[in-house]
Amino acid sequence: MKTFMIERYGDKAGVRAAEMPDPRVGAEDVLVRIHAASVNPLDLRLRDGDFKAILPYGLPLVLGNDLAGVVVQVGPDVTRFAVGDEVYARPDKNRIGTFAELIAVHQNDVAVKPATLTMEEAASLPLVALTAWQALVERAQVRPGQKVLIHAGAGGLGTVAVQLAKHLGAYVAATASTAKVDLVKELGADVVIDYTQRDFATVLDGYDVVLDTLGGETLKKSVRVLKPGGKIISVAGPPDAAFARELGANALLRLAMSALSFTTRRRAGRRDVTYSFLFMKASGDQLRALTPLVDAGEIRPVVDRVFPFAETREAMEYVEKGRARAGKVVVAMR
């Protein structure tokens, strides 16, 4: 099968097209012919080797973390799907590789594609929609009337998180650049802070939850907008010991991650708020919970641009250079 893969970490020019063997299909796997896959910042970080200490992939490695396509084969113990089903998925972190013509995915990580979406639209959702769900529903347990701040509200994760938070009944603030303020308001944000004009930390306060997608100084200042008992959930900040435990890491790695996040956790603790790092997990069940919201129009995908499969490397460069105006960048196989 045709793929885009890397043979070593840290080489931006090393992403290349290559023929790889077709996947082996396990007893509970579905083999999916991929019609579209989206490009995520995670793909860039994996390419650069940022997670090689905690996600020790073998090389060569096919990149790509979410997909939409059609089931072409099922394992003997598969009960949820049949050949011909249109599906979407974020494969388990140990079985990535959606920049390819085919992928084998465990049936528990797959869901039937929303009927109202194209393949390209559906492919834009799994990773970011699951991240938003796990942050806002699972971890923050957002309730009606709570105040939620979402950074980079026009980004791939932000566009979905704003809509999900509104569906949950929250009062939603988001940050965005001048050109993207109107879009984020259309997605449902109650207030949008143009970060080129104002510092969000000087105009917002009393928030229950912050979803941080940027890290760095933004994460540091986010502590100030939370009320006591509030939560910062970050996908871009330093990992913590809880994340290490989720990975099943050894004691030394757990200690190292705890040290990485010590300053952030101490800063949060001084204001009686909590910090946690989120690395989303694959979940077909959660995608099935999200699908009715998509088909009802409660959550709509925002796709910036679709590249042909042959231009996967260019699509990654487009994302890396920040050229996307809003939402996701997708690669279409057919």
149 plus 102 within the same structural domain? no
98 located within any domain: yes
pLDDT-derived band at 248, boundaries 50, 70, 90:
confident
Range of the domain at 255: 127-277
Give the model confidence (pLDDT) of 194-218 as tens digits: 999 999 999 999 999 999 999 999 9
Give pLDDT, residue 249. Answer: 76
Q: What is the pTM of this model?
A: 0.97
26 located within any domain: yes
Decide if pLDDT at 307 tops 90: yes
- Of 277, 293, 323, which residue is a domain's last? 277
Give pLDDT, residue 132. Answer: 98
Decide if pLDDT at 252 tops 90: no
pLDDT-derived band at 147, boundaries 50, 70, 90:
very high
The reply to whether omega before 239 is within 30° of 0 (cis) is: no
Give the model confidence (pLDDT) of 25-60 as tens digits: 999 999 999 999 999 999 999 999 988 888 889 999
pLDDT-derived band at 276, boundaries 50, 70, 90:
very high
Decide if pLDDT at 314 tops 90: yes
Query: For 296-316, what is the mean pLDDT?
Result: 97
The rounded distance, in Å, linking the Cα atoms of 63 and 5 is 6
Rounded to a whole number, what is the distance in angstroms from the first to the last CA of the chain? 14
40 plus 133 within the same structural domain? no
116 plus 145 within the same structural domain? no
**pLDDT over 90 percentage in the chain:** 89
**pLDDT over 70 percentage in the chain:** 100
* CATH at residue 234: 3.40.50.720
Query: For 128-156, what is the mean pLDDT?
Result: 98
Give pLDDT, residue 111. Answer: 98
Give pLDDT, residue 146. Answer: 98
Which range among 96-105, 228-237, 241-250, 263-272 shows the weakest confidence by mean pLDDT?
241-250
Nearest to 300 by CA among 198, 205, 186, 208: 186
3-state secondary structure of 26: coil
158 plus 250 within the same structural domain? yes
pLDDT-derived band at 243, boundaries 50, 70, 90:
confident
Query: For 158-182, what is the mean pLDDT?
Result: 98
282 located within any domain: no
Residues 279/243, Cβ–Cβ less than 8 Å:
yes
The domain tally of the chain equals 2
289 located within any domain: no
55 or 288: whose pLDDT is higher? 288
Give pLDDT, residue 251. Answer: 82
* CATH at residue 94: 3.90.180.10
Beta strands per DSSP E along 57-166: 61-62, 67-74, 86-89, 102-106, 110-112, 147-150
Q: What mean pLDDT value characterizes the chain?
A: 96
Could you give the strand order of the β-sheet that contains 61-62, starting from the edge strand earlier in sequence? 16-19, 2-6, 61-62
Decide if pLDDT at 305 tops 90: yes
